[in-house]
Structure 1
């Protein structure tokens, strides 16, 4: 098979600047670059983890109408080492739609959800694998 990795996940945002700051400050990503588009109204920004840039988050500002509804992503999950520590940290930020508690799956993996600045669902996940 020719598919080798997940390249990036595109997230529609209202403000590139607000979302870059959020993903840097809250998630810990590093802003790699802004990029143009053939549509002059569309702005793109790419972010990745400082020590691992194989998979990126692409922020997309400026799509309107039907283009904005092309596809829906349920959530983007980020692996964490200490789910309790991250839950306390995120709680202190008063972010929207934070789960009331950490969920533990039957296999021992644990997670919680919260929302980004444009309502995108984000998950912090600690695997038991």
Structure 2
């Protein structure tokens, strides 16, 4: 098979600049580039982690369009955390919506928690067992 990696994940957003700021400040990504001007009907922003630009998050802003149906939406975006307890404390201090009441454990030893992004997209911070 010729498929070898995830290229990018597209997330529909209502306010592009707010979402860029969220993914930079909260998640730690950096803005690579944008497509479209402020008054354009379609605007895109591409972000990645510094030094790991082979997989991107694409933020999609479509002005004056219908809402997407629930079917086919991505359930969540998961990001690897090296210290899940430190990240849980940091996210808790920010007062973000949808934060799980506690860190959850998997039988494998991995640990994770969820919270909401600016448009209600679910964000997961995940610490694999080998980092626990």
Which TM class, normalised by the smaller chain length? Answer: over 0.9
Find runs of 4+ consecutive structure 1 residues off by over 4 angstroms. none
- Note the alpha carbon deviations across 1:82-122, whole angstroms, 9 max, x for none: 00000000000000000000000001000000000000000
Q: Tell me, in whole angstroms, the C-alpha distance in 2 between the residues paired with 1:24 and 1:6.
A: 20
- Note the alpha carbon deviations across 1:58-97, whole angstroms, 9 max, x for none: 000016226x337300000000100000000000000000
Alignment size in residue pairs: 126
Q: Tell me, in whole angstroms, the C-alpha distance in 2 between the residues paired with 1:112 and 1:94.
A: 14
Give the alignment's TM-score, normalised by structure 1: 0.92
Secondary structure of the 2:3 match is: coil
Secondary structure of the 2:102 match is: coil
Match of residue 115 from structure 1:
116
Unaligned runs of 5+ residues in structure 2 are none
Give the alignment's TM-score, normalised by structure 2: 0.90
Match of residue 43 from structure 1:
43
Secondary structure of the 1:122 match is: strand
Secondary structure of the 1:65 match is: coil
2:99 corresponds to 1:98: yes
Unaligned runs of 5+ residues in structure 1 are none
Q: Tell me, in whole angstroms, the C-alpha distance in 1 between the residues paired with 2:123 and 2:46.
A: 17
